[in-house]
Amino acid sequence: MIVEERIYDLRPNSAAEFARHFEREGIAIQRPILGRLVGYFYTEIGPLNQIVHLWAYEDLEDRAKRRAVLAANPVWREYVKENIHPLLVRMQNKILVPMSFSPPLPPLWQPGDETRQQR
| pLDDT value for 110 | 55
Percent of the chain at pLDDT above 70? 88
Within a domain: 106: no
Residue 116 belongs to a domain: no
SS3 103: coil
- Answer whether residue 91 shows pLDDT above 70: yes
pLDDT confidence tier of residue 117, bands split at 50, 70 and 90: very low
Task: Give 98's Cβ-side CA count (13 Å radius).
Answer: 14
Instruction: Assess if residue 101 is contained within a domain.
Output: no
Domain for residue 33, yes or no? yes
End-to-end CA distance of the chain: 31
- Give me the helix-helix angle, 60-72 and 27-34, nearest 10°: 140
Q: Could you read off the pLDDT of 69-80 as tens digits, one per residue? A: 999 999 999 999
- What is the arithmetic mean of pLDDT over 9-34? 94
- Residue 9 placed within a domain: yes
**Distance of CA 76 to CAs 29, 34, 44, 51, 80, Å?**
6, 12, 28, 18, 6
Let me know the angle formed at the C-alpha of 50 by 49 and 56, rounded to the nearest 5 degrees: 165
Segments forming the whole domain that contains residue 7: 2-96
Give the model confidence (pLDDT) of 40-55 as tens digits.
Answer: 999 999 999 999 999 9
Q: What are the strands of the beta sheet with 2-10, ordered from one edge?
A: 36-42, 50-57, 2-10, 88-96
Question: Would residue 46 count as lying in a domain?
Answer: yes
Residue 11 lies in a domain: yes
Q: pTM value? A: 0.82
In a domain, 110, yes or no: no
Residue 112: the pLDDT is 55
Confidence of residue 26 (pLDDT cuts 50, 70, 90): very high
Residue 103's pLDDT band (cuts 50, 70, 90): confident
CB contact at 8 A, 6 and 97:
no
Q: How many domains does the chain have?
A: 1
CATH code, 25: 3.30.70.100
Separation between Cα atoms, residue 32 and residue 5, nearest integer Å? 18
